[in-house]
Structure 1
């Protein structure tokens, strides 16, 4: 079975030749990153940890390292990730079977190849979200799809009142004698529908939804769960399992009349939210995320723009639960350069794939104030059209 092990405690943090023990989440800009002068420390530092032996297929998962990350195992470079706001995974199975040392180098130095390069917020340096070990079987829901679960659930209206869930899942090592099962579970824990599919690299399946209850924003943020399983077709033993929450909803935007959720006009009243706190920087915990949700709800908002980058998956979960409508976006901001086009697209694909199943998200933002440091030109327009097509 899949096993997720959080390994936030007891990392050796080395900056400018000095080493101390820290727990994650952590940033070295907790204090100097908020004085409004942009004079905060922009450099690189390393987080190190010894991992015990394991004979399991194991991936290292970093939920957020800003803004460029290098991962070394036993001093060997095994991964580079450019972009400080999305998750990424590294297969360390060949190393951890003997026990190994992991070094994660975070770098928030100015870098013209990675968005953002200019903005009115702090580019905090550090490993500021959770780090996990994920143990998985050989035959599994993919671990190699831009940090996502590799399962994409799309609610669709069928006829006037019916709904179904269209499921696409990606499988690693699909040539085993296993099958996949997808089960719809309502908010009370009742199984409502189930379907079984033969394993192949890409599986398509559908689940009908009887007596559907819609995810209806602040009125009724009703959530279903889709239990996704891979099981041995002979013994019925479940070997991989992921539960994904989803909601039934549809929306459209009319240029004259505004936003509509499930056919009902809603006036969007919202705020913009950054992921930091005084004397903590961006190394905040679930407690601060929940406090921010409460503040947003207390002012009467029904929507939130998550400025200007992918935020913690836990915060999207809270938005799903509370019925907040979410504008999610990538940090393509202030200053355009064609040399960053590939990085911008990578961050957009990661944002969408890692957050596809959140019913609260209604918009993928592809840029913000991109002409602050220059005027619109043909290259910029061509680039934005491409990003729109990707989204």
Structure 2
């Protein structure tokens, strides 16, 4: 059992460690996909039941809730010991599968350990309170269209799940959004650790040229190899293409494999903090031999370089850049971790009003939506993993 100390946004006086800051997408767009946020229609109980994953389980007495949802904050914000243990969620999913389509369920986070079931089948086990995770539903969907999704979540302390200690509470529950995703049968996979399946790596960035290495994880559910065209392009704010690479590739059947491309931008407009937080639209397309669009993933990327100099401080795009910032936690009074996009926007507005140029996202991965807000506003981000105070010496945590 733990208690919560008072938490406020604290002025960040110095950066004692090198900053890891990444311009990344807060969400994934694409005209070939259907994304449905499933906030309503959930049922919940604290009872740790052995058969709650079964489709015919009677959950009529459970509490009706909506997401995001979490527990523990009621006692923690009063300075009392708070609940650390399991809870169960259930929801009906009406999905009548279409031929040539695939279906996935993506959780933006669950605190802290989650087991996910569809129609009684165990889809997967996730450990960690702050990262996204995703499972494919397609093989287990009922032809009738009525499916039962069940999720057991526990925030009980575990010796291999960080944080093992800290001056903040670890709440339980599905405290970030859950998404139902429909894709084509050949797609950029959402199963790569819950990521968009595309990594835009900034290999070299100067004021005259930016070189990006792109890694695309492509999943082919067909029984035959398929010829594809991989298109990687950057668009400016007016949707004009400013750089593009086109590769002919062959996707092998029933596998997920990476493909690489290189995109070079001449005379790029650089992301330069609050002075000029310019973002390009980064588009990856999978095209069929007849040039029809199969799948598409759209993200946003800011091109920049940075170093840390012992005399000049933080250097952004070759120029000294002032670093003034705050620490931010992801909780709110009377909400715990189950905050809304509007709450995050308000946090950002307060940080900008203070004149900050940076934010430390303490002490764990924050919502991708908040990272995207920072990208658009021009805030440097110090991103952290939840290794706080103590590390278990056993092999389990390594």
Q: TM-score, normalising length from structure 2? A: 0.81
Take 1:222 and 1:340, find their aligned partners in 2: how far apart are those partners? 43
Structure-to-structure mapping, 1:219-368, within 5 angstroms: 219-234=275-290, 236-339=291-394, 342=397
The answer to whether the 8 Å contact 2:207/2:317 transfers is no
The answer to whether the 8 Å contact 2:211/2:265 transfers is yes
SS of 2:71's equivalent in the other structure is: coil
Task: Report what 1:34 is aligned to.
Answer: 77
Take 2:73 and 2:342, find their aligned partners in 1: how far apart are those partners? 17
Question: Considering only aligned residues, what root-mean-square deviation do their CA atoms show, in Å?
Answer: 1.9
Cα distance, 1:263 vs structure 2: 0.8
| Runs of 5+ consecutive residues of structure 1 not aligned to the other structure | 345-391
Structure-to-structure mapping, 1:145-224, within 5 angstroms: 145-157=192-204, 161-173=208-220, 175-200=225-250, 201-224=257-280
Take 1:131 and 1:159, find their aligned partners in 2: how far apart are those partners? 39
Worse overlay, 284-293 or 72-81: 72-81
The 1:160–1:52 alpha-carbon spacing in structure 2 relative to 1, beyond 3 Å, is closer
* Alignment equivalent of 1:64, drawn from 91, 103, 109: 109
Take 1:36 and 1:298, find their aligned partners in 2: how far apart are those partners? 30
Take 1:160 and 1:229, find their aligned partners in 2: how far apart are those partners? 27
Cα distance, 1:221 vs structure 2: 0.3
SS of 1:66's equivalent in the other structure is: coil
The answer to whether the 8 Å contact 1:143/1:172 transfers is no
The answer to whether the 8 Å contact 1:2/1:239 transfers is no
Answer 1 or 2: which has greater helix percent.
1
Task: Report what 1:85 is aligned to.
Answer: 130
| Runs of 5+ consecutive residues of structure 2 not aligned to the other structure | 1-31, 49-60, 251-256
Which fold has the larger relative contact order, with Cα–Cα distance below 8 Å and residues 6 or more apart in sequence? 2
**Is 1:111 the equivalent of 2:158?**
yes
Take 1:4 and 1:198, find their aligned partners in 2: how far apart are those partners? 28
The answer to whether the 8 Å contact 1:42/1:110 transfers is yes
The 1:196–1:126 alpha-carbon spacing in structure 2 relative to 1, beyond 3 Å, is same
The answer to whether the 8 Å contact 1:48/1:102 transfers is yes
Take 1:26 and 1:338, find their aligned partners in 2: how far apart are those partners? 33
Deviations 1:119-177 (A, max 9, x none): 11110111000101111222111233211122111234467622233212121129312
SS of 1:32's equivalent in the other structure is: helix
